[in-house]
Amino acid sequence: MSMTEAGGLRGRRCAALPGGLAVLVAAIGAACAGPESTLKTGIVLTAARAYDGFGEPVVPAVIYVVGDRIAGVGADVDAPSGALRIDLGDATLLPGLIDAHVHITNSFTNEPDRDADTGVVGASTAEALLLSGFTTVRSLGSRNFQDVLLREAIDAGEVPGSRMIASSQGLTDGLHAAVDGDRVAAGDDPANEQDIRAFVRERIEGRVDWLKIFASRSSRAGGTPTYSLEQLEWAIDEADRAGVSTSAHAHAAEAARRAIEAGARTIEHGALLDESVLELMIERGTYYMPNLYLSEYYLENGDRFGYTAEQLGWTERLLPPRTQVFTQAVQKGVAIVFSTDANSGWVWSGDTAIEFDRRVAAGQSTKDAIVSATSRAAEALQIADIGNLVSGYRADVIAVEGDPLVDINALRRLLLVMKDGEIYRSPER
């Protein structure tokens, strides 16, 4: 049996989708096709090499999948003769990649945002991310709970896409939104304790997985702090009570320091962090989510996004410190996690993995780059059964052309994508 027969697209099964996502059925019906169920006897994947979520070799490079779980790895594989066997040749098998910071429904245009539009954008972006090898993503900014609705549609099998961790709109004092025109991220600008806690409770009632706080202004406005330590503590305490972790957008060192001291689990961007903040992150076990290619992308697309000359000037000025802080974080041993801050336009280009190239060029080893997008990312996001090639874990597996330990850009050459045991991309498709 060929890979296409075993893992080809299922027939259309477009159920009614929630909220603004309902428009997907008419607008992009193709997005409602998913892969065919795998055989009960399972699938055996073989390749020239395989690395687990810690960058260690799996020998032999064999992975056995039954249903949505990994049933055997390496020498432990004991598959029946009836299992579908797929030999990928001179390729590398890896756990599905994780991008811990995307804007799944955000196209960053100057046109007014509508739920119907963001629903279409989100579904298309989720599928593109999956086909690029990212089997799990964390959405950090989406209006009106659109990423929550999309997450539920993906989980229900109504839309193909990456497994999604959703945060909806972030807590902001309005400065970030006012400068950027970032309507997707803008909240209701709460400032006192009652309003801040109410905002967080509203997010939780809306079924978010994470809380996002804008602890600083945008990089295009200098990245200065927005909230006091006390205000951040109110928000994070309210989220903690519900078992929801917090992500803090923070460029300036002081903004990040306040967020870390208040209990944020992850710091996003951090273009202007200093040595003392990096050391505090190590001390507190905080995860760092930098983005190196992002500034290049904004500079290349500034006109398209409607950014002013002043905003682009800030972006250009932050190019060197972004890289310098990243290099320093690598040298100190900060827990760095793969994250791009990619919006739909970048995702649709099919090359968000270019971020790996920039990170390795800035001093990260190829092995640690892989770890940052697999086991460490899963740890940061608190998901126990992804990010590694281990029996019992979810069958999220990719195959790439070449050896990413030798050439990290191999991660940009996808051959196969499997999520939950279903093949979404293969050499025959």
284 lies in the same domain as 191: yes
- Tracing tokens 């027969």 back to the chain, one arrives at 5
pLDDT for 37 equals 43
DSSP notation for 338-377: ----B-HHHHHTT-TTHHHHHHHHTT--HHHHHHHTTHHH
Helix, strand, coil percentages for the chain (3-state, nearest 5) = 40, 20, 40
82 lies in the same domain as 188: no
323 lies in the same domain as 333: yes
pLDDT for 305 equals 74
274 lies in the same domain as 365: yes
Whether the Cβ atoms of residue 411 and residue 97 lie closer than 8 Å to each other: yes
Closest CA to 187 of 200, 392, 179: 200
Query: Domain boundary residue among 366, 381, 396?
Result: 381
352 lies in the same domain as 297: yes
- Show the domain range for 282: 97-381
362 lies in the same domain as 297: yes
CA–CA distance, 251 with 322 (Å, rounded to integer): 9
Q: What is the pLDDT of residues 313-351, one digit of tens each?
A: 888 888 899 999 999 999 999 999 999 998 866 666 678
371 lies in the same domain as 400: no
CA–CA distance, 181 with 186 (Å, rounded to integer): 9
Whether the Cβ atoms of residue 393 and residue 428 lie closer than 8 Å to each other: no
pLDDT for 291 equals 95
222 lies in the same domain as 354: yes
DSSP secondary-structure letter at 195?
H
pLDDT above 70 for 24: no
DSSP notation for 294-332: HHHHHHHHHHHHT--HHHHHHHHHTHHHHHHHHHHHHHH
Whether the Cβ atoms of residue 263 and residue 246 lie closer than 8 Å to each other: yes
CATH number of the domain that residue 402 is part of: 2.30.40.10
59 lies in the same domain as 39: yes
pLDDT above 60 for 1: no
pLDDT above 50 for 47: yes
pTM for the complete prediction?
Answer: 0.89
Q: What is the pLDDT of residues 102-147, one digit of tens each?
A: 998 876 554 545 555 677 788 889 999 999 999 999 999 988 899 9
**Into how many domains does the chain fold?**
2
Q: Which residue did the predictor score with more confidence, 108 or 13?
A: 108
85 lies in the same domain as 101: no
**Long-range contact pairs involving 301-304 (C-beta distance under 8 Å, separation at least 24):** 301/345, 304/108, 304/109, 304/345
207 lies in the same domain as 281: yes
175 lies in the same domain as 238: yes
CA–CA distance, 160 with 127 (Å, rounded to integer): 6
CATH number of the domain that residue 283 is part of: 3.20.20.140
